[in-house]
Amino acid sequence: MDHAVVLKGNMSVARTTLQGNIILLCLFAAQAIGVYVTLWAYDLLSHFKPSLYAGILVVSLVLVLLVKSLSYMFRYLGYEDHERGLPRIKDDFLGGWLNANYMLAFLVPMLLLPTFMSLFSSMKSAIHLVQPFYLDEFLMKADRFLHFGLDPWRITHGIFGTAFLSVMLNFVYNLWFFIMFSYVLWMIVNVHFGRQRMQFLFAFVISWPLIGLLLAVFMSSAGPVYYGDIVGDHSIFGPLMDALKAFDQEYKDSVFGIFALNTQDMLWADYLKNDTGIGSGISAMPSMHVAIAALLYFSGREVSKYIGYGMLIFLILIQIGSVHLGWHYALDGYLSIFLVWMLWKFCGWLTGRIYGPESVPEERPESVR
């Protein structure tokens, strides 16, 4: 058993846990340094806001504590009377949660991800200041070329071109954050997933700065919804936005609607003010909505074929919704899926270097067995 002894006795950490979390810490640090240096170099440090998502940490910890407490309560109630008592509770907690191996694996991503996402938003809000939007016209023409002379949104509106279906696509699109948040939290908590968990966390932490920032700056574009304002031609995507507004009007007295329209207006207002806030920033290529949906699919199918099926449906709907609602060119999503697939393969190789051949079971301290 290959342990890295942290303190004495039971306070030991599996070599795989230690190596994996050192890599995660290095990835977190690389993103923080990269964002800070870039904003400093362009005199944009007013956008550097590492605590934007601090509240998510509190929510996450409360949810974890609640779910784990309820889970343990049902487990404890399943014990025979002679098995219950404080010694059993102590052994369960020390063996399952309150040991060095679990706490290291759990706390590193849990504590650092809110800052990580805050720094992503800080940089995303400044993409257009580092590299002004320039690729929209090319992406529009590339979309037409790939879709036999048609704008992809005309295809989606030919299939889903009713108010009801458009609202449903918008609803699923808005679920993206909650599904992503729940899945990431689930992966953080379930340390016993071992290599599958670490492969997901590596890919998640690399995809945001690589795909969502570096490539977004290199391929700076605003997306169909803002095409007319950026390029100066409202004839191409103006009919799309008019259709969405008409669908929204059909639900004006309902709790539903095309919520994307309000979000798009808020993002444009932040863009005009050069403001940085939660969720702010405009960037079309590549699509992080599609990229993360693809990552959830690649990861989910490794955990369960049924989760994989569900995430595949989710990915398809996000790709369609991103075009249908004017957020993205279809090519944004296609490239994102390909990039995430390559990143997933790379992270699989990286975890293989840590965990060894897949037939070898995960190394864990005796205290967590």
pLDDT at 99: 78
Candidates 283, 209, 291; CA nearest to 32 is 209
Tokens of 72: 């343990």
DSSP secondary-structure letter at 12?
Answer: E
Give me the pLDDT at residue 92, please: 64
Residue 305 confidence (pLDDT) above 70: yes
Residues in the chain, total: 369
Average pLDDT over residues 105-109: 90
Place of tokens 């992406």: 139
Take residue 225 and report the two structure tokens written for it.
Answer: 């919804």
Contact between 126 and 42 (Cβ < 8 Å)? yes
pLDDT at 34 exceeding the cut of 90: yes
Average pLDDT over residues 299-305: 93
Q: Is pLDDT larger for residue 65 or for residue 191?
A: 191
> 77 in a domain, yes or no?
yes
Q: C-alpha angle 279/283/285, rounded to 5°?
A: 135
User: Is residue 212 packed enough to be buried (19+ CB in 10 Å), middle (13-18) or exposed (0-12)?
Assistant: buried
Query: Binning pLDDT at 50, 70 and 90, where does residue 61 land?
Result: confident
Using the predicted structure, report yes or no on whether residue 1 has a pLDDT greater than 80. no
How many percent of the chain have pLDDT more than 70? Answer: 88
Q: What is the mean pLDDT of residues 272-279?
A: 83
Mean pLDDT calculated for residue range 142-155: 96
Q: What average pLDDT does the segment 210-218 reach?
A: 96
Instruction: For strands 3-5 and 12-14, give the pairing.
Output: antiparallel
Residue 4 three-state SS? strand
pTM of the model: 0.88
d(CA 302, CA 159) in angstroms, rounded, equals: 32
Residue 273 resides in a domain: yes
**Whole-angstrom distance, CA of residue 133 vs CA of residue 190:** 41
Count of CB atoms situated within 10 Å of the CB of 285? 25
pLDDT of 208 above 60: yes
pLDDT(63) > 70: yes
Model confidence at 364, pLDDT cuts 50, 70, 90, reads very low
CA distance 108 to 112: 6
CA distance 255 to 78: 43
**How many domains are contained in the chain?**
1
Angle between helix axes 330-355 and 195-209 (nearest 10 degrees) is 140
User: In this structure, is residue 2 part of a structural domain?
Assistant: no
Is 4 within a domain? no
Numbers of helices and strands, H then E, in the chain: 16, 2
Looking at the predicted structure, is the pLDDT value of residue 280 above 70? yes
143 closest CA partner among 334, 331, 333: 331
Q: How far apart are CA 321 and CA 244, in angstroms?
A: 12
pLDDT (0 to 100) of residue 203: 97
> What is the model's pLDDT at position 88?
66
**What is the predicted pLDDT for the residue at 369?**
36
**At 315, is the pLDDT very low, low, confident or very high (cuts 50, 70, 90)?**
very high
- For residues 270-283, give the mean pLDDT: 86
Confidence of residue 143 (pLDDT cuts 50, 70, 90): very high
Residue 1, in any domain of the structure: no
**Which range marks the domain in which residue 158 is found?**
14-368
User: Which pLDDT value is given to residue 363?
Assistant: 46
Residue 76: its pLDDT value, please?
A: 64
The reported pLDDT for the residue numbered 9 is 54
With 0-12 / 13-18 / 19 or more C-beta atoms within 10 angstroms meaning exposed / middle / buried, residue 165 is: middle
**Amino acid residing at 34:** G
pLDDT over threshold 80, residue 357:
no
User: Which element (helix H / strand E) includes 5?
Assistant: strand 3-5
- pLDDT value, residue 273: 87
Cβ neighbourhood burial of 7 (10 Å; 0-12, 13-18, 19+): exposed
pLDDT at 365: 46
- 3-class SS of residue 142: helix
**3 domain residue, yes or no:** no
Q: Give pLDDT, residue 66.
A: 82
Give the mean pLDDT of the chain: 88
Residue 361, pLDDT > 50, answer: no
- List alpha helices for 125-253, DSSP H: 127-130, 136-146, 152-160, 163-189, 195-209, 215-218, 227-231, 238-249
